[in-house]
A and B are shown apart, each in its own frame.
Chain A
Amino acid sequence: MNKMIEIYVNGEQQQVPTDYSVEQLQQQYATSQQVAIALNNQVLPRRFWAQRLLMAGDQVLMFNLVAGG
């Protein structure tokens, strides 16, 4: 079994396997809608999601669009 690492998703601690990509994390959270992702307070463009593997201590912020004025 893969070793697990700890990351933070929208401020909450979470464990993921060592070879887990940002894209896999995104699919775990949001399959039916578009999201934007920031990694360690930098916007991470979608084209990097598949190749960027999560590392221990990474802070991931995930945003979607909601109604607003």
Chain B
Amino acid sequence: MFTIANTSLPQLLLGSGKFSSPAMMIDAIRASGTGLVTVALKRLKPGEPSHDLISPLRQTGVKILPNTSGAVNAKEAVFAAELARELLQTHWVKLEIHPDPRFLMPDPEQTLIAARELVKLGFVVLPYCSADPMLCLRLQEAGCAAVMPLGAAIGSNQGLQTQAMLEIIIEQAKVPVIVDAGLGLPSHACAALEMGASAVLVNTAIATAADPVQAAHGFRLAVEAGAAAQAARCAPASKQAHASSPVAALLSFLS
């Protein structure tokens, strides 16, 4: 478990996108053991059938975290956060501003501007951001409740491409570091926790697996393993061997 704004949460957070059906999403959420699931805002289209996403999510007992996906600048993100607050009666928000449609890279300048504004407005701000140690420090100074640097591009399943930068971010952070985006395998999540991350957020890797429930189960175990390794403070690697059995001359009398 880790804590954001006095709320204790399991270290695996889930996104709700891309599941083949709402029932599959709910089954995967249950298998993952998560306590927090993200959702997005969308403009209603007249005549388009719409589904009630919130009631089934609430039945699982998870906390629902709205994101600002779709916002291309700070102004839009603040507006989206205010809409989400009104809709869900939550002052938590996952701030994400990614105007570039190909790589979906978060806009560092607009994210920082929006973070400062949202903190002033009383939000608990969880910003999705580049794996940039200075930016993460600035977001922390701005009053963000956590930072969410990317492992790789959203939905890319490439794993911890930003590992060296994540290590610096984790070392410097006074708020929880949640590795978000790009994790493709349970082993990536385990490695993030082993490195000292507080949590990971996973969506595509679970939702688009051939068996999302098994994937969710795998990520749950991996996060538990990584958290245990972190708590154990495992010894560092070394270049040469260190015997784990006695090596004193046992049979030297034969020679």
- Residues of A at the B interface (CB closer than 8 Å) are 9-10, 12, 29-30, 32-36, 38, 41, 43, 45-46, 61-69
Contact = CB atoms under 8 A, between A and B. Distances in A.
Given A65-B40, A66-B40, A43 B51 contact: no
A45 B203 CA distance: 31
A68 B83 contact: no
A69 B67 contact: yes
B70 to A, nearest CB: 9
Interface string B148-183: 000000110000000000000000000000000100
Given A32-B52, A63-B43, A69 B82 contact: no
Main secondary structure of the interface of B (DSSP, over half): mixed
B17 interface: yes
Nearest to B43: A10
Contacts, number: 96
Given A67-B39, A68-B16, A68-B69, A33 B83 contact: no
28 contacts: A10-B45, A12-B46, A32-B52, A33-B53, A34-B87, A34-B88, A36-B41, A43-B82, A43-B86, A63-B43, A63-B44, A64-B50, A64-B87, A65-B53, A66-B40, A66-B41, A66-B53, A67-B25, A67-B39, A68-B15, A68-B39, A68-B67, A69-B15, A69-B16, A69-B40, A69-B69, A69-B201, A69-B203
A46 B38 CA distance: 23
Given A66-B40, A69-B203, A45 B86 contact: yes
Given A33-B50, A61-B43, A62-B44, A67 B16 contact: yes
Interface string B18-38: 110000010000000000001
Interface residues of B, number: 36
B66 interface: yes
Contacts of B86: 36, 43, 45-46
A45 B15 CA distance: 27
A29 B44 contact: yes
